[in-house]
Amino acid sequence: MTTIDAPAIDHDALRAKYAAERDKRIRPDGNQQYIEPKGKFAHFLDDPYVERVEREPLHDEVTVVLIGGGFAGLCTGARLKQAGIDDVRIIEGGGDVGGAWYWNRYPGAMCDTAAMIYLPLLEETGHMPSKKYVFAPEIFGHAQRIARTFGLYDNALFSTAVESLTWDEDASRWIVRTDRGDEIRAKYVAMGTGPLHRPKLPGIEGIESFEGHAFHTSRWDYDYTGGSPDGAPMDKLADKRVGIIGTGATAVQCIPQLARDAAELFVFQRTPSSIDVRNNHEIDPEWFATLGPGWQREWLFNFATLQTGGFADEDLVKDGWTDIAQRIRDRVIAEMSKPGAEVGPDLIARAFSDSDDEKMTEIRARVDAVVDDPATAEALKPWYRQLCKRPCFHDEYLDAYNVETCHLIDTDGQGVDRIDATGVWVGDQHYELDCLVFASGFEVGTEYSRRSGYETYGVDGQALSDRWADGMRTMHGLHVHGFPNLFIIGMNQGANLISNITSNLVEAGSTIAAVVAHAEETGAERVEVTAEAEDAWIALLEGSSMAFLGSADCTPGYYNNEGGPIGPKERLNASGYPQGPVAFFQFIEQWRTSGDFDGLAFTPGS
């Protein structure tokens, strides 16, 4: 392993450096700097993995429609089936289940959350992950395994996009209309539109003028590059000059493969990612067999506890996510041991800041230790706090810049200037390209209805986008007043993104299944959160500081609204339970098992 000697830290100088790097990247257009894949780029949204099969429109009724076949829909569907609700239908725009892991098949794609906690329902499906961190094909395969195990392929509609969702008050049913001409009536609907659903492109001058080959990483074109999601070499790039715009989490994973296979690779960087150690390894089957019943829930709670500053006897996951939290705890304990020390917000804030400075100094020192060229190494150093942007964990990314044919084109925070027919301009330098890859990510911070691709009309025809015009309003992140028998499957206004995402989805699915089962057992036709209960939940959130947002001193990104204003609406949209995810999981488990379902009104049929 590379030896890393981190220098001493001047905290004040570091704050000044962070501020300068942030200021040079602030743009007045914020989220508007990105564009939708339309016009010339409309095909970027096509499904390259299956042939669309025409079929007759459906006009039928089901008990539950699950919009989305990613882990949100799968976890909810699994829990519904376990609760005895069998008449369940997934409607999914892709050609199979998997959600983000159906679409994202770029070379090197993997999850940098440990598979033991990221892959949901491992005990229920009897699956042992192959490695601590698994690659995309295994994650996609696990999504398929969940669907098979719980019979969720039965009655599912794939390659089908929902176009509208309308509440029929007289019948107490949702009318689901799709792009296939379907008109499906459902007693309940659960919406599982994840944050990595809608690709976006950089709004660079001349982007439509490029005459070479281009694609978005979420629709990787293996017909052009050669290779496969399983890691086969991209042999068709052997004589190609390839450019990639973006250096976020996706780019960090695919750049080593592009550097290996392309004749030349040009990486256009606005802001470097922080690259921590991954240290991946295979999981020992003998050790895995010793884990007792309930082990995954124990691991999930352990991770969430440590990730959010709590104390545990053991760190079961032992990764980069829990490392920073452990450093903060150690500092707090050290400060508490000093005579006259008082534990308060100032002490905790100082412990957090000093621990983060230490961690990021080590990450920057690692760049120097790995990258041979000093100028390239300097450009790859992240000058911001670790949670200002999505932290990355990778052991091959930095080494890619030691490949002679891999060129880092650093734009000093300004981004690419323009694109023309043959390549990319940065300042007065032109880079001629055969292929341009957009690693520009997804619409994370845009409105829910925009990201989902359809509008939802509740009681009296009110649109969900209008209901949430001033910010998301729910109870528990699941229920919306005026939208009966509808459930939102997500993270916000519940445990929040700071916990493992799939932990949130499993808990949401368990809660939805409990509500639906209770309604069916008691003969209720309609389930709706009361206005008073929703208001009380929002008041609880508004009085909390648990909003997953990068602070004002962060470099721009989707964690902090691209550096734009963060007002009440943005805070509400990113808010979470005041006591944190572990407390929320305990609260919601007690709520759903008590039998009272406080805050919900169950109305019997006439």
Q: Which sequence spans correspond to the domains of the chain?
A: 61-198+444-604, 202-273+389-441
User: How wide is the angle at C-alpha 497 spanned by C-alphas 492 and 498, nearest 5°?
Assistant: 135
Percent of the chain with pLDDT over 70: 96
- Compare 286 and 5 and report the one with higher pLDDT: 286
The 8-class DSSP code of residue 53 comes to P
Give CA torsion, residues 202, 205, 211, 215, to 10 deg: 0
Fold of 202-273+389-441: FAD/NAD(P)-binding domain (3.50.50)
Q: Which range is least confidently modeled, 40-44, 325-329, 415-419?
A: 325-329
Same fold flag, 61-198+444-604 and 202-273+389-441:
yes
pLDDT exceeds 80 at position 354: yes
pTM of the predicted model as reported, rounded to 2 decimal places: 0.94
Compute the distance between CA of residue 278 and CA of residue 257 in angstroms, rounded to an integer: 17
3-state helix, strand, coil in the chain (%, to 5): 40, 15, 45
What confidence tens digit (pLDDT) does each residue in 369-380 have? 999 999 999 999
Q: CA nearest 251: which of 415, 98, 108, 435?
A: 108
CB burial of residue 102 (10 Å; 0-12, 13-18, 19+): buried
pLDDT band at residue 445, thresholds of 50, 70 and 90?
low
What confidence tens digit (pLDDT) does each residue in 207-264 have? 999 999 999 999 999 999 999 999 999 999 999 999 999 999 999 999 999 999 999 9
pLDDT, position 8: 81
What residue type is assigned to position 413 of the chain? G
pLDDT exceeds 80 at position 558: no
What is the maximal distance between C-alpha atoms in the chain? 77
Q: Report domain 61-198+444-604's class.
A: alpha beta
3-state secondary structure of 21: helix
The answer to whether 529 touches 513, Cβ cutoff 8 Å, is no
User: How wide is the angle at C-alpha 587 spanned by C-alphas 584 and 591, nearest 5°?
Assistant: 135
Q: CA nearest 250: which of 360, 110, 370, 88?
A: 110
What confidence tens digit (pLDDT) does each residue in 94-128 have? 999 999 999 999 999 999 999 999 999 999 999 99
